[in-house]
Structure 1
Amino acid sequence: MTPVELSRTVLRAVRRAVDEGELRVTVPERAVVTVPGPGGCGDYATNIALQLARPAGQPPRRVAEILRPHLVEVAGVADVVVTGPGFINISLRDAADGAAALVEEILRAGLRYGHTDALAGQVIELRIPYEVRAEVVADAVVRIVAAQGGRAEVDHGEPVNLRPVPAPEDPAPLGPDAARWALLHPAAHDRPRITADHLVQRASNPLFRVRYAYARTRAVTRNAAALGFTADPAAISVALGLDAAAPGTAPFSGGVPPSLTTPTPGETPPLTTPLLTTLADHPPTLTRAADHRAPDRLARHLVTVADATLAFLPTVLPFGDEKPSAAHRARLALAEAAGAVLAAGLSLLGIDAPDHL
């Protein structure tokens, strides 16, 4: 079950509770499903009970307990636990099938992965000052809102409702891609840095890591084709079984990119779950970025995806005389899914994703 499918499952649970008279609320248009936060558990969590508590006139935990039996009975759900003030934590029965479905969904959707109709019919007015950063941020917000089914209209009238901290100098000398990243990556209340650091091809540059990770996913696809195998998302369940006992891979944190290192001979690298988690978090990240008019949330998410991707890529291709197996085909599918998410995110920010870097 993918996050999008689980979101629909949560909404169906709300609808059943309303139909049976357990809740008196209007069924919302969307339910945000994301990875559990601190104190949470399971595979996914949702704050739908906190969202419905006030209109229902009941405490959030009570709303969560009403929804719990409607979720437990769903095929594919192993357990539902209520934590904190009313967060609903959901454990799925078969993580392997869920991983395969997630990767298949990403590869099928491509650049449209994470696009929803959550803001369908909504027109959002953005009133900005005449300033370069405000223009770039507004342009990214227009793209992200459109990805959620809404429409954002930009105007320079008063009162201004989108005023990021201005750029200290003209970012144009950085070039279009680095300039946009310099203006979009910091939060709106942070002062952007307009320096040549955005151009260096080193691990210290987040933009380089994101674009390099995407380019490496394209490279492993080309290399796999030369070795005679292609991606197979359905093989992920096999690969997860092979790798269940293997330790996870640490995130890329600087120095030599892991994609330039070599796995230890004789070891079976894991199909790492951190990358699956970051890919699953892409749709709710887009929703939050649209809701808060905050493209910086998407930019920071792409850095997280890139770091997990760079840590994972050394496991994709066979090592030495090793023959391509189902695990390699599964890892290639996951690498291609990561590349699709990176390309989609960069596209929404108006930044190019190069196949070679």
Structure 2
Amino acid sequence: MIPADLSRAVVHAVRRAVESGELGGGCVPERVVVERTRPGGVGEYATPVAFHVAKGAARVPRDVADVLARLLAEEPGIAHVDVTGAGFLNFTLAARSEAALVREVLSAGNRYGYADGGGEADPFCWAPRVGPRERAVREAVGRIMRSQGQEQGSGITPLAPVARRDGDVIAAYGQDAARWAMLCVPARETPAFGPGLLVQDESNELFRVRYAHARARALGRNAALLGFEAEPGESGESGESGESGVGRELVRVIAEYPLVLEAAAHHRAPERLVRHLVTVADVLLDHQHHVLPRGDEKPSAAHRARLALAEAAGTVLAGGLALLGVDAPDFL
């Protein structure tokens, strides 16, 4: 089970409980937002769904959570369910095969993380009076929501516009850098612009994300020169120092990507996607050093698996940047 599957499993459990009469009168939500547990919390993921269901079921949230926890404990792929506080559901997922996840990502391509029924959003045509911030945010939110099978509608927090002192940011920084700056902070915050947006080194988050994507593509080209291709498997087989932990972390952040898209759509918050892409890029840039053979070392199954994992991470970066409306070059 991947995190996005967990959301669907929770909806299914609520439906079973309502239809069986255990939570009679409760409302079955179309979607449930499941998010990463905060540091120090219980389990890996959590949801407050019991509080919403309790209103219609005339039950206290803790009782609702206990019912749902019992049903969800039966789900394959969920290792443990805990109820904390007044009724929060907390989950620990069973370990999932790295090979299966990587195959799923590479098969789906840029549509990895899209919900059933999700699709591409048509380009928007805004009136000239719409400012660049509103255009960037509304278009990104529209793409993200469409990827989750939702229509944009209303509900976006009033936007802080680009400060007058920054002038024409598109002309000054280019569309990609300006768009990134306008999307990387919550809607209520004024975006910041400065020379750092154009710096081509790791101090610039946009550069790191695009560079990590380009490195993933370069690894594939370099591997071909060495006579091997990507093949999903277990990337830590050789036990080299540091690789096992980095590989596991890269698997984790790739697996969480669909959940990030779902949360970004629910909250109309493209900055959540921005933050996750930076995380994926940083872990990928650590992982890249373990992908290709060194010296006289011959390509092994572990090298092929690491390459496949890097390509999957590159796919996530390309798909996420496309939803933000930012280019993902193969060469940088």
The within-5 A match list for 1:76-225 is: 76-93=77-94, 95-97=95-97, 99-116=98-115, 130-152=130-152, 162-167=158-163, 168-171=166-169, 172-225=171-224
Question: Residue 78 and residue 152 in structure 1: after superposition, are their counterparts in 2 closer, same or farther (change >3 A)?
Answer: closer
Q: Would the aligned equivalents of 1:165 and 1:191 in 2 still touch at CA under 8 Å? A: yes
Deviations 1:297-328 (A, max 9, x none): 22122111111111221111122222222222
Aligned equivalents of 1:197, 1:151: Cα separation in 2: 35
Match of 1:353 among 321, 328, 331: 328
| Aligned 8 A contact 1:35 1:277 in 2 | no
Match of 2:36 in 1: 35
Work out the CA distance in 1 between the residues paired with 2:306 and 2:96: 13
Provide the residue aligned with 1:21 in structure 2: 21
Q: Which amino acid is the alignment partner of residue 8 of structure 2?
A: R
Question: Match of 1:278?
Answer: 253
CA displacement, residues 46-76 of structure 1 (integer Å, 9 cap, x when unaligned)? 3332332323332322222111221222233
- RMSD (Å), alpha carbons: 2.7
Matched, 1:300 2:311: no
**Other-structure match for 1:48:** 49
Alignment-mate amino acid for residue 14 of structure 1: V
How many pairs are equivalent?
A: 320
- Quote the Cα distance in structure 2 between the aligned partners of 1:30 and 1:313: 36
Q: Which runs of 5+ in 1 are unaligned?
A: 121-126, 155-159, 244-265
Cα deviation 1:324-352 (Å, max 9, x = unaligned): 22222222121111111111111011110
> For the Cα contact (< 8 Å) 2:4–2:259, is it kept in 1?
no
Distance of 1:53 and 1:229 partners within structure 2: 55
Q: 304-313 vs 128-137, which deviates more? A: 128-137
Q: Is contact 1:215-1:354 (8 Å) kept?
A: yes
Q: 8 Å contact 1:2–1:101 — kept in the other structure? A: no
Other structure's SS at 2:152 match: strand
**With structure 2 as the length reference, what TM-score do the two structures score?**
0.86
Aligned twin of 2:290: 315
Tell me the amino acid that sits aligned with residue 213 of structure 2: Y
Q: Which residue of 2 aligns with 1:333?
A: 308
CA contact (8 A) 2:231 2:307 kept: yes
Using the TM superposition, name which of 162-171 and 326-335 deviates more: 162-171
- CA deviations on 1:173-214 (whole Å, 9 max, x unpaired) are 211211211222222222222322111111111100110010
Report how far residue 11 of structure 1 moved: 2.2
Question: Unpaired runs of 5+ in structure 2?
Answer: 120-125
Distance (whole Å) between structure 1 residues aligned to residue 28 and residue 153 of structure 2: 28
1:78 is paired with a residue of what secondary structure? strand
Query: Could you tell me how far apart the structure 2 residues matched to 1:101 and 1:203 are?
Result: 32
Q: CA deviation at 1:232?
A: 2.2
Call closer, same or farther: CA 1:213–1:50 in 2, change over 3 Å.
farther
SS in structure 2 at match of 1:327: helix
Distance 1:323 1:268 in 2: 20
- Name the CA shift for 1:104/1:7 in 2 (closer, same or farther; >3 Å): farther
1:40/1:299 Cα in 2 relative to 1: closer, same or farther (>3 Å)?
same
Calculate the TM-score normalised by the size of structure 1: 0.80
1:60 match: 61
Change (3 A) 1:320 1:62: farther
Measure the CA separation in 1 of the matches of 2:237 and 2:55: 44
Q: Which amino acid aligns with 1:23?
A: L
